[in-house]
Chains A and B, each alone.
Chain A
Amino acid sequence: MKIIIVGAGRIGYSIARELSRERHEITVIDCDDENIEYVANTLDVYTLNGNGASYDILKEAEAGRADLLIAVAQADETNLLACLTAKKLGVRHTIARVRNRDYIKQASILKDELGLSMTINPEEAVANEISRILRFPAASKVESFANGKAESVEIRIGPNSPLAGLQISDFHHKFTDNVLVCAVSRDKDVYIPRGDFVLKAGDRLNIIGAYKEINCFLKKNNSVSRGIRSVIVLGGGVTSFYLVRQLINTGISLKVIDKDESCCAKLKSVFPKAGLVLADGTRASVLNEEGLSSADAFVAATGDDGDNIITSMYAASLGVKKVITRIKEGHIIRMLVDSSLDSIIQPSSIATQRIVQYVRHMQNAYDSNSIDALYYMFEGRIETLEFKINSTFPYLNIPLKKLHISKDALIASIIREGACIIPGGDNMIRSGDSVIITTSRIGVSRLEDIMEAQR
């Protein structure tokens, strides 16, 4: 595909790097000489020096013939204007980074009005990632589908787990009907389990369901002794803002430490219930006083990578169960080879992942626009896809047990009116549903592809 990237900062650079590896034809536009020279020297992409929102530059970049424009410059206004101008020139899809808190409420309006295919807010994406790790501390990987209506977690079956030796058909009787084992990785193979599949200790399972149900299941399964109930967040910036917004109603008690009064004031005005501490959280005495040693989790999200690393190391040394460190610079992460920090979050890499995932799905579904999202599981050997169903789908209103679904695929859940349904044989697919499937077949682009010829 022909892709134009506006902005060659951290995110722009890493998107350009990932996408050029996937053999896309990329043009990077930035107005900073140094940035653009670095890109031209190190990546196999075309570079243009100038304002990415200007008509002339976009014309020179042949936006009219491009498939996608990704605007990730510093200013939201530049990004939106770039998308708007490119759209007028004839680009097929646009993605804009919109990060300003003031625009949150109008984000969806902007998206529709400007015809954007996607907006990305890196800080919010980071907050999502952190909150998911906090909510499922036992799971090694968490993905969410359909705007968080369904989540999937990856867990490993321990030697004494009640899951070991269990047949999938008995799984529902013993646990719950509302979660589904949708993929299993054993040794070097991956399986889409059918009813007669028997689980073994050491298997890695991918489980899908609504957040509450999954949490319930994880508790029953004893895979975590106690969830995370108290979190100390260092730094009251934009990321913390979104994190508070997500966690405030989950029953997890939060404490945000920041030394800047205006930061605290901003948080307090939006979240009156949030616990705020006005102090320099990089001091051990402050952290101790606020009860770091008894907290379940510590999130270091100040603007300074160094502060985040040092305080996280301190928290880990005190035995805090889950320590999450936000680090902006990739080169700093590369130097942290030998450290006790296990949950490191890099904002640019998260934003890049989201966008690259989107581009992959665009690539996969070049002619069919039905794929809504695509995720890779078990190192890319299993794909989980989300489809929007419209009235042209040929198998509407047929009970699933009457459909012949191919052996390498599974309908994992149906999202209907905001609720996640784990489908049984009597459920039907209706127009307007979102259907999530997992498959070990690569390159499925339509839901029909997993249906075998009907008799």
Chain B
Amino acid sequence: MSYRMIGRIVGRVIGIIGVLMVLPLIVAAYYGESIRGFLVAIGAAAVLCGALLLLTRSGHKSMFSKEGFVSVSISWIIMSVIGAIPFIVEGEIPNFFDAFFETVSGFTTTGSTILENPELMSRGLLFWRSFTHWIGGMGILVLMMAIVPLSEQYSMYIMRAEVPGPEAGKLVPKVQHSSRILYLIYVALTLIEVIFLLFGKMPLYDALVHSFGTAGTGGFSTKLLSIGHYNSAYIETVIGIFMIVFGINFNLYFLLLMKKVRRVLHSEELWFYLAIVAASVAAIALNIRPIYGTFGTALRYSFFQVTSIISTTGYSSANFDMWPEFSKMLLVLLMFIGSCAGSTAGGIKVSRIMILLRSARSEIKHLLRPRSYNSVMMDGKEVNRGAVHCTLVFFFLYILIILGSILLISLENFDTTTTVTSVITCISNVGPGLSMVGPAGSFAAFSGASKVLLSICMLMGRLEIFPILILFSRSTWRRRSRF
């Protein structure tokens, strides 16, 4: 294992986090709040970054897939620790586990919170909390590669470890250019959303914070009632549409820019995703119609909640915990599915679900007619067997981790709904669950150990399991003499 290479990457990531923290610092200063927390965090980042880069200055820079995975996971853990410093120093979330959980939840774009009422927090910290969504959405290492070119070899390993989806592809030959294009699209879409929200008479600060939450598909709100606070059909529609937009594979936007509309329209994942959204909106609207009286109002709440959950954002415009059982179960299933690969959303991803369904179908066909040749097709091309196999293993691990975590969380002795949905919502990076962790509740009641476990679940969900598993696997850390 090349510790030097890992040190270099982690050092750079910490440096970038330090620089990015200047933004919330300015916001805090603007509102006349204490900036001590941010100063301490930036100082810590600077010292750690300097030390790491100095220590790993020389030496060989070889890097393989193992180093790629390990440096991605370590970067995410360390940046969460540094990101938690302002909350602790300012004393607004004094407990370390709480602050760590909140920051991980931010960076992984989950949006689960331990805060009973976010409106009591200072504006600088709330800004930072939402800004972590924005940073984590597209990924910090992708940002790093857009800024500083890594020794070009093996940089694909890092990109693949951080960009969600079964097959991370490049847009253009150079990783650096690909990352830049992704970030440019990301920034542009975020700005467009801010402008739309400003039209809806939302204050600039709120518009920024909620756009960060939407772009990263995170879901931290500065309001107790989340988006329900504004009680505006316009704002709900804008955010709802943008949640769908940020749940679509970013490569498609690049293809649109390149005027390859036909290839965009031929993306089966896109249509499947939109079909799930449409069907779920209709089903839930019908189901909740008795509560809201008219179909129109039911459609409004149903649309917002479905887009919010399937994009794994986690905003709420109504307390869906009070909805009928069918609607609640459907929302939980949508949490599993998540959005498209290559978007900022979490969950298993629509393309994986499609591969799973199609390989099940091909297996059944094969059993019926053993000599028939069956293969899994996507976008008119055969998915190679390695990718199908990897998807099956991914799904198995996803379920296994959920089951294991549910068992451990059950030690808290909460009701079944809380126990099960808290794990599912964390690993799928959604945010709220049902019952105690529902839109009106919070994760405050969980013990420190459970918060760490749920934090790991969130990281696993965001980094798609394998990097974190590799970090904790024994063979990664074995010494060379023992192979």
Contacts and interface: CB of A to CB of B under 8 A. Distances in A.
A40 interface: yes
B154 A25 contact: no
A25 B175 CA distance: 10
Contacts of A76: none
A41 B174 CA distance: 13
Contacts of A25: 172-174, 177
A45 interface: yes
Contacts of A119: none
A46 B170 CA distance: 7
B226 interface: no
B52 to A, nearest CB: 24
A223 interface: no
A102 interface: no
A46 B154 contact: no
A44 B155 contact: yes
A317 interface: no
A44 B172 contact: no
Size class of A's contact patch? 10 to 19
A407 B312 CA distance: 69
Contacts of A72: none
Contact of B152 (A27, A33, A43): A43
Contacts of A392: none
A46 B173 contact: yes
A40 B159 CA distance: 12
B153 interface: yes
Interface string A94-112: 0000000000000000000
B156 interface: yes
Given A25-B173, A44-B175, A20 B152 contact: yes
B473 interface: no
Contacts of A21: 152
B157 interface: yes
B65 interface: yes
Nearest to A27: B173
Interface residues of B, number: 14
Contacts, number: 33
Contacts of A435: none
A25 to B, nearest CB: 4
A40 B386 CA distance: 15
Given A20-B152, A21-B152, A33-B384, A41 B157 contact: yes
A395 to B, nearest CB: 41
B231 to A, nearest CB: 48
Interface string A382-399: 000000000000000000
A42 interface: yes
Contact of A40 (B152, B156, B174): B156
A42 B153 contact: yes
A312 B175 CA distance: 43
Interface in A34-76: 40-46
A42 B384 contact: no
Interface string B149-163: 000111111000000
A43 B155 CA distance: 8
Contacts of B173: 2, 20, 25-27, 44-46
Interface string B130-157: 0000000000000000000000111111
B156 to A, nearest CB: 6
Interface in B67-81: none
| Residue in A21, A26, A27, A46 with the greatest tally of chain B CB atoms within 10 Å | A46
B252 to A, nearest CB: 16
Interface string B38-77: 0000000000000000000000000001000000000000
B172 A46 contact: yes
Contacts of A26: 173
B149 to A, nearest CB: 9
Contacts of A2: 173
B170 A41 contact: no
Interface in B380-401: 384
Interface string B169-192: 010111101000000000000000
B380 to A, nearest CB: 12
Contact of B154 (A27, A33, A41, A45): A41
B64 to A, nearest CB: 9
A27 B175 CA distance: 12
A144 B252 CA distance: 50
Nearest to B385: A33
Nearest to A23: B174
B174 A44 contact: yes
A23 B154 CA distance: 15
- Chain A CB within 10 A, most for which of B154, B157, B172, B173: B173
A21 B174 CA distance: 11
A430 B434 CA distance: 88
Contacts of B174: 23, 25, 44
A26 B157 CA distance: 18
Contacts of B384: 33
Contacts of B155: 44
A41 B172 contact: no
Contacts of A23: 174
Contacts of A46: 170, 172-173
Interface in A154-212: none
Interface string B324-366: 0000000000000000000000000000000000000000000
Nearest to A26: B173
Contacts of B175: 44
A45 B153 CA distance: 10
A41 B152 contact: no
Closest 4 CB pairs of A and B: A44-B152, A46-B173, A25-B173, A26-B173
Given A41-B157, A43-B152, A44-B155, 11 more contacts: A25-B173, A25-B174, A25-B177, A33-B384, A40-B156, A42-B154, A42-B156, A44-B152, A44-B153, A44-B174, A46-B170
Interface of A: 2, 20-21, 23, 25-27, 33, 40-46
7 contacts: A21-B152, A25-B177, A27-B173, A41-B65, A41-B154, A42-B156, A45-B173
